[in-house]
Chains A and B, each alone.
Chain A
């Protein structure tokens, strides 16, 4: 596909100047973090010792919170992804197929967490979790219920835009009329068509949970971020190393998300015009809305 720049596009020189300048400014804090981790202490100079210590497992017991936090965050991430998908996917499919009149309401509920800051939510979550702790114990995993709520807008956008991109109703009716039960329809027809949306929702949920600090710190739970803050008080260098590693990991995750989202986009998006489908409608969704693409082209086969 050849690309002709529109008449109102900037000149190449102007574009280069803007992008290089902004790029440089945004690179400074990241490079500063790297430089910081390499500092040689009072003696000056640079050393790789701290990086070696992290990767060779030489960190002593005072770093244990990091491993606890990492394990907790990993557990929370997995449970949050499973919980959110297990609840959201069937709900959105049901609404799409059987209760279209509920669509607006569900959309409103799913996007609502954008307007409720985590710091506000945590004020009300404190009493809720004192009850939850009595039922499920004071382990870290019940935090997933709250994390799922903070992930909801992202996950909703990813799955719903996928759901809008193929004709779920016709497909499921076709399968039903050919004798498939609802379980078969769900597992062998709808879920395979939704794999992009589901994968995108899972990835963004992972990224959000790994970066979460507000809820965990104010409910006195340990996760990766609260552990980093704790460690940074004694050894800011190692804390920054872990922060950089987390950043790289999330970067890779979101890069994969970009590949998932843009795969074959552009040609086969049907029910909505591409522009409208791609326009992010919300803060958080915007941060991550992958271009929805249509794994199925309804009408082409009929």
Chain B
């Protein structure tokens, strides 16, 4: 046990000073029993830096982002920016964002789910598990600019894989035009970070399946198919759906890869925000970025709330 060694400093730190029983000892427990100590104490003031920081750099920017959507160029209240959310250009951006998020989340859930399934029998302390864990951790973080570079090197016009397909099989993936730098080009890079995220989020849920359930199923004469369709999948359903929503939110809010791949386009909402921020002339409206941000936040709030609810439901089986 490490406890003895680790708690030694406690004894040594306090040892010399402790003599006989001191007054604080009598006071401490009573104060701790109070359920709501006043915040206006030295201890309460200790919470101030955190509060100020979160206020200034999270709450204020978020509210500013949402608020400017309701202001016109002169700073007076207007709904025209928010009405712009119904503009075909903006709607197509949200449509593309929804589409790409749904597709990559679905592929991520399926492929990542398969990887988790493949890891089921592996020793949780063994080298296979820790290798896959480590790689997933790195690749889930491997977003942004570097991911764009990777796919330009892979399926760019001179990309390794693209050229190989062409010379070996005579397949030209860009026969109908170069799609890598447009919205469809985001699908493969996004899948690249969705799958590892799925592995990380879903593996604990899958490991929550009790071996006894499979044994009970086998004892009662159930086949593996019956086990998966009647027992495991129903138990896993909330986790699976939750993971889908998480992956959806992950790709919906992702910006850097798309920005690095497409320097001009504004096919998805984050890129429309960039266009609005840098040129301020999208649809001839100022402050459109705020309205677009509002739209994104609404979507994220719905998705993440559903995710939290599903996680609570899923937790039932993981005790």
Chain A contact residues, CB within 8 Å of chain B: 1, 3, 5-10, 12, 14-15, 18-19, 22, 26, 28-33, 35-36, 87-88, 90-91, 94-95, 98-99, 101-102, 106, 109, 112-128, 145-146, 148-149, 152, 169, 171, 173-180, 184, 188-189, 192-193, 207-208, 211-214, 217-218, 225, 228-229, 232, 236, 239-240, 243, 246-247, 250-251, 254-255, 257-258, 262, 264, 266, 268, 273, 275-276, 278-281, 283, 286-289, 295-298, 300-301
CB 8 Å contact bits of B138-162 with A (1 = contact, 0 = none) = 1111111110011111100001110
Q: How far is the CB of A212 from chain B (nearest CB, A)?
A: 8
Is B35 an interface residue when CB atoms closer than 8 A count as contact?
yes
**B232 contacts across to A, CB distance below 8 A:** 8
5 contacts between A and B (CB under 8 A): A8-B224, A119-B270, A119-B273, A176-B24, A295-B6
**B289 contacts across to A, CB distance below 8 A:** 123
A15 to B232, CA, bound (A): 18
A146 touches B57 (CB 8 A): yes
Q: How far is the CB of A92 from chain B (nearest CB, A)?
A: 9
Partner of B142, one of A7, A247, A288: A247
A177 touches B192 (CB 8 A): no
A121 to B54, CA, bound (A): 12
B14 touches A287 (CB 8 A): no
**B143 contacts across to A, CB distance below 8 A:** 211
B137 touches A124 (CB 8 A): no
**A145 contacts across to B, CB distance below 8 A:** 53, 56-57
Is B46 an interface residue when CB atoms closer than 8 A count as contact?
yes
Whose C-beta in chain B lies nearest to the C-beta of A244? B146
**B140 contacts across to A, CB distance below 8 A:** 286-287
Partner of A225, one of B25, B145, B227: B145
Given contacts A214-B259, A287-B140, A179 and B121 within 8 Å (CB-CB): no
A290 to B9, CA, bound (A): 26
A124 touches B17 (CB 8 A): no
- Top 5 nearest A-B pairs by Cβ distance? A178-B14, A9-B121, A124-B61, A179-B17, A117-B253
A28 to B192, CA, bound (A): 11
Q: How far is the CB of A182 from chain B (nearest CB, A)?
A: 9
B63 touches A124 (CB 8 A): yes
Is B220 an interface residue when CB atoms closer than 8 A count as contact?
no
Whose C-beta in chain B lies nearest to the C-beta of A213? B256
Chain B contact residues, CB within 8 Å of chain A: 1-4, 6-7, 9-11, 13-15, 17-19, 22, 24-25, 28-29, 32, 35-37, 39, 43-44, 46-47, 49-50, 53-54, 56-58, 60-66, 68, 111, 114-115, 117-126, 128, 130, 132-135, 137-146, 149-154, 159-161, 192, 195, 197, 200-201, 204-205, 207-209, 211, 213-215, 218, 224, 227-228, 232, 246, 249-250, 252-256, 259-260, 270, 273-274, 277-278, 289-290, 293, 296-297, 300-301, 304, 311, 315, 318-319
Main secondary structure of the interface of B (DSSP, over half): helix
A112 touches B249 (CB 8 A): no
Whose C-beta in chain A lies nearest to the C-beta of B294? A120
Whose C-beta in chain B lies nearest to the C-beta of A179? B17
**B115 contacts across to A, CB distance below 8 A:** 18-19, 22
Given contacts A5-B121, A115-B300, A279-B318, A189 and B13 within 8 Å (CB-CB): yes
Q: How far is the CB of B98 from chain A (nearest CB, A)?
A: 14
**A214 contacts across to B, CB distance below 8 A:** 255-256, 259
Q: How far is the CB of A32 from chain B (nearest CB, A)?
A: 4
A173 to B260, CA, bound (A): 53
Whose C-beta in chain B lies nearest to the C-beta of A109? B54
Given contacts A3-B126, A19-B132, A179-B17, A10 and B137 within 8 Å (CB-CB): no
B10 touches A171 (CB 8 A): yes
A148 touches B53 (CB 8 A): yes
A301 touches B3 (CB 8 A): yes
**B319 contacts across to A, CB distance below 8 A:** 273, 275-276
Whose C-beta in chain B lies nearest to the C-beta of A27? B135
A258 to B130, CA, bound (A): 8
Given contacts A6-B120, A218-B274, A124 and B209 within 8 Å (CB-CB): no
A174 to B289, CA, bound (A): 54
Q: How far is the CB of B253 from chain A (nearest CB, A)?
A: 3
Given contacts A7-B211, A22-B114, A119-B270, A177 and B63 within 8 Å (CB-CB): no
A127 to B65, CA, bound (A): 9
Q: How far is the CB of A42 from chain B (nearest CB, A)?
A: 12
Partner of A188, one of B13, B43, B121: B13
Given contacts A6-B121, A22-B114, A178 and B209 within 8 Å (CB-CB): no
Partner of A33, one of B150, B197, B259: B150
**B142 contacts across to A, CB distance below 8 A:** 247, 250
A272 to B119, CA, bound (A): 25
A26 touches B139 (CB 8 A): yes
* Given A9-B121, A28-B160, 20 other A-B residues pairs in contact with their CB atoms under 8 A: A6-B211, A8-B209, A15-B121, A18-B117, A19-B115, A19-B118, A26-B195, A91-B46, A123-B65, A123-B68, A124-B60, A128-B60, A179-B18, A213-B255, A225-B144, A243-B149, A247-B146, A262-B130, A279-B318, A286-B246
